[in-house]
A and B are shown apart, each in its own frame.
Chain A
Amino acid sequence: MDVFNFLGRTREAKARLEQHRLRLYRIAYAWTHNAALADDLVQETLTKALQKSGQLRDPNAGDAWLYSILANCYHDHFRRHRVTEEIDNHILTDDSTPEKESSEQEIVLKVRAAIAKLSEGQRQVITLVDIQGLSYMEVAQILNVPIGTVMSRLCRARYALKDLLEEIAPKLAAAESKIRRIK
C-alpha cells in the first residue's frame, strides 16, 4: 500500500530531523544570544530541511548540511533586519546577583558575553568547532569560505577570547578541574 509507505517515510524524516533540534539551537543561540530568535531560526532550518529531505539523504551522512541551512537562515534574517537584534539581557549586564554567584554560572555568562563580542565570522567558526565539533572542512563548507579562512578566524577568535576573559583568570583556574571533566 503506497499510502502506508508515504506516511511512514514522512514521519521518519520528521523524527530524524527533530533529533537535531537542540544541537542546532545551541549554535543558533551562540550566534544570536536571543532565545526567541534562535528558536525561530532553528524552526525555519528544520522546516526547510524537511522539504529537502525527500531529495536526500544518506542517513549516514553528517549533519553539516543542516548547519548550512541554519547559516543561510541566519544570514537571510540579518539581511532583512538591518538593525542589530537585541541580545538577551543577562549576557550584557554585569550584575552578578546573589542567586547567580555560582562561579561556574558566572563563567558561563562571561564566556557567552565574550563570544557575543567577537566578530560574526569568528563567532560562527569558533562555535561550530567547539560546540558542535565539526571539522574545519565542514565549517568551510557550511560558511562557504576557504578552509584557510576558517583556520585564521578560529585562531583570532581564541586569542580574542583569551583577552576578553583575562579578568576572570583566577576563577578560571579554580574551575579548571571541573572543566577537565567535560568531554
Chain B
Amino acid sequence: MNTEQKFSDEFLNAFVDDQLSLEERQQVYACLATDDALNRQVCELRKMHSLVKLAYEQPPVPPHGLKSLSTGRKLGLGLAAGLALMIGGVAGWFLHQSPAPVPTTVAQAIAETRDPTKVLFHVSDGRPEHLRNALDEVEGLMQHYRKSHEKARVEVVANGDGLSLLLAGISPYAERVRRMQQEYPGLTFVACQNTIDRIRQEVGLDVKLLPGVEVIDSGVAQIMRRQQEGWAYIQV
C-alpha cells in the first residue's frame, strides 16, 4: 500500500461502487486527473468488480431447469433460467407445421378442405376493460380469418377472475357474448368448473352461466389438452 495514499482502500472501493456522496466523489475525480498510481488502483478495483459480475451472468443451472413456485420443476432446455422469470403464460412446444401458403384465387375452395386454425384464448382477468379488450381481440381474429376465407375454431376459456365474463347477472358483456356466439359458428365460450366450485366454497354463491356457454372440468387442464392437440394459445 502506498504510504502517500490520500484515500483509504475502503474509500476507493466505495468510490468504485458508487457509495460516496457527490462531494466525496468529486474529491476522487480531482485526484484521478493527475495521479497515475491512483488511476491504476481504481482501475484494478473496477476490473475485479467487472470480473465478478461477468463470472455469474450466466450461471449453470440444474439439468432440468430451475424450480418454480408451482409444484415441481419447469421444463429446462437451457432456457429454464430465463423462463423462470417469465410469468404466467404457457410454454407450448409444437412440432406440427403450418399449411403451405395458397394463392388467394383458390383460397375459398381450398379453405374447406384445410384443417381449421385452432386458437384458445385464455381469460383470467375479470376487470371490465380487460374483458372488453379480450372480446375485441377475439372478434378481430374471427374477422381476419373470415376475410381470408380460412376456417377457424376458437375457444375462449375463462377461469379465475375471468369467469365473470360468463356469469349471468354479473358479466358486463352478456349481450356481446350472445351476439358473438351467433355471429361466429366456430367460436365457443368455455367456463371452468373448478372456478365455479371455488366460488361456491369461498363465497357461498351458486353462479349461473350465460346461455350457450360450455363447461369443462378445469381451465388449466383444458389448456393443456388443447395444446397437446396443436391449438395455439393466447392469454389476453
Contact = CB atoms under 8 A, between A and B. Distances in A.
A64 interface: no
A182 B202 contact: no
A127 B60 contact: no
A180 B54 CA distance: 11
B14 A151 contact: yes
Interface in B10-55: 10, 13-14, 17, 19, 44-45, 47-55
Given A19-B87, A22-B85, A155-B10, A111 B59 contact: no
B131 interface: no
A3 B66 contact: no
Interface size class of B (residues with CB under 8 A): 35 or more
B142 to A, nearest CB: 27
Contacts of A29: 56, 59-60
Contact of A14 (B56, B61, B69): B69
A136 B52 contact: no
B19 A158 contact: no
Q: Is the interface of A mostly helix, strand, loop or mixed?
A: helix
Interface stretch (A5-13, A65-73, A78-86, A95-103): A5-13
B198 interface: yes
B173 to A, nearest CB: 16
Interface in A141-183: 151-152, 154-155, 158-159, 161-162, 165, 172, 176, 179-180, 182
Interface of B: 9-10, 13-14, 17, 19, 44-45, 47-57, 59-62, 66-69, 81-82, 84-88, 124-126, 160-161, 164, 170, 198-199, 202-203, 205
6 contacts: A1-B199, A18-B69, A18-B85, A21-B68, A131-B53, A179-B47
List the 3 shortest-distance A-B pairs measured between CB atoms, nearest first.
A111-B55, A130-B52, A15-B87
